[in-house]
Amino acid sequence: MGRVGLGVAAGCAAATCAIAAVLVARRASARARWRRAIALLRDFEEGCATPPPRLRQVVDAMVVEMHAGLASDGGSKLKMLLTFVDALPTGYGLSSPPLRPLSLACLLAAPCAGAPPGLRPLISADAKNFSCGLMPPGATTVGLTLAFMEGFGVLTAIKVVWSMASWDMNLPTLLCAQHWVHRRQVVFHNGNVAWDVLCQTGIIAWGGALFGVQEYLIMMMVAAVATASRDGRTICMTDGIHIGLAGLLFFCFCHMFGFYFGGVSRSLPVRICTFDRNEEGTYYAIDLGGTNFRVLRVEVGAGSVVTSRKVELPIPEELTKGTIEELFNFVATALKDFVESEDGNDEQRALGFTFSFPVRQTSVSSGSLIRWTKGFSIENAVGTDVAQCLNEALARSGLNVRVTALVNDTVGTLALRHYNDEDTVAAVIIGAGTNACYIERTDAIIKCQGLLTNSGGMVVNMEWGNFWSSHLPRTAYDISLDDETQNRNDQGFEKMISGIYLGEIARLVLHRMALESDVFGDAADNLATPFTLSTPLLAAIREDDSPDLSEVRRILQEHLKIPDTPLKTRRLVVKVCDIVTRRAARLAAAGIVGILKKLGRDGSGVALSGRTRGQPRRTVVAIEGGMYQEYTVFREYLDEALVEILGEEVARTVALKVTEDGSGMGAALLAAVYSSNRQQGSI
Question: What would the DSSP string read from start to end of 355-409?
Answer: E-S-EEEEETTEEEE----TT---GGGTTSBHHHHHHHHHHHTT--EEEEEEE-H
Alpha helices in 48-176 (DSSP H): 52-71, 104-109, 119-125, 154-164
Q: Quote the pLDDT of residue 411.
A: 92
DSSP single-letter state for residue 94: S
Distance CA 509, CA 518 (A): 13
Can 368 be counted among the known catalytic residues? no
Q: How far is CA 522 from CA 270, 519, 576, in A?
A: 74, 9, 20
Going through 240-365 in order, the beta strands assigned E by DSSP cover 281-288, 292-301, 304-314, 349-355, 359-363
- Beta strand 349-355 pairing with 281-288: parallel
Distance CA 338, CA 531 (A): 35
Dihedral sign for Cα atoms in the order 59, 63, 64, 66: positive
Q: Which of 86, 239, 287, 409 is catalytic?
A: 409
Low-confidence stretches of the chain (pLDDT beneath 50): 92-278, 606-614, 679-683
Distance CA 386, CA 381 (A): 8
- Give the number of other CB atoms < 10 A from CB of residue 351: 28
Decide: pTM greater than 0.95: no
Q: Quote the pLDDT of residue 260.
A: 29
Can 343 be counted among the known catalytic residues? no
Q: Quote the pLDDT of residue 42.
A: 94
Domains of the chain: 37-83+422-651 (3.40.367.20), 100-257 (no CATH), 275-407+653-683 (3.30.420.40)
**Helices first, then strands: H and E counts in the chain:** 20, 22
- Beta strand 220-223 pairing with 173-176: antiparallel
Q: How far is CA 572 from CA 34, 36, 477, 504, 552, in A?
A: 10, 12, 17, 16, 11
Can 294 be counted among the known catalytic residues? yes
Distance CA 106, CA 54 (A): 56
Judge whether 618 and 653 are in contact, CB under 8 Å. yes
Q: How far is CA 499 from CA 55, 157, 352, 504, 626, in A?
A: 20, 54, 26, 9, 8
Distance CA 519, CA 513 (A): 7
Judge whether 62 and 428 are in contact, CB under 8 Å. no
Distance CA 172, CA 575 (A): 52
Q: Quote the pLDDT of residue 191.
A: 31
Q: Quote the pLDDT of residue 632.
A: 94
Q: Quote the pLDDT of residue 182.
A: 23
Q: Quote the pLDDT of residue 466.
A: 92
Q: Which of 277, 294, 402, 635 is catalytic?
A: 294
Q: How many residues are present in the chain?
A: 683
The crossing angle, in degrees rounded to 10, of helices 535-542 and 632-646 is: 80
197: which residues sit within 8 A by CB, 6+ positions away?
203, 204, 205, 610
Q: How far is CA 122 from CA 117, 142, 342, 579, 681, in A?
A: 10, 19, 63, 64, 41
Q: How far is CA 648 from CA 614, 615, 639, 641, 643, in A?
A: 17, 14, 11, 11, 5
Q: Which of 76, 265, 356, 469 is catalytic?
A: 356
Judge whether 361 and 83 are in contact, CB under 8 Å. yes
Q: Quote the pLDDT of residue 29.
A: 58
- Give the number of other CB atoms < 10 A from CB of residue 175: 17
Q: By three-state DSSP, how is residue 101 classified?
A: strand
Q: Quote the pLDDT of residue 248.
A: 39
Q: Quote the pLDDT of residue 15.
A: 60
Judge whether 287 and 312 are in contact, CB under 8 Å. no
Distance CA 542, CA 572 (A): 11
What is the four-CA torsion angle of 371, 377, 378, 383, rounded to 10 degrees? 10
- Give the number of other CB atoms < 10 A from CB of residue 566: 10
Distance CA 107, CA 123 (A): 10
- Give the number of other CB atoms < 10 A from CB of residue 113: 5
Distance CA 69, CA 75 (A): 5
Query: How does pLDDT run across 10-24, given as a tens digit for each residue?
Result: 666 656 655 655 555
**Beta strands across the sheet bearing 401-407:** 304-314, 292-301, 281-288, 349-355, 401-407
Helix (H) or strand (E) holding 570: helix 567-598
Q: Which of 638, 654, 610, 648 is nearest to 206 (CA)?
A: 610
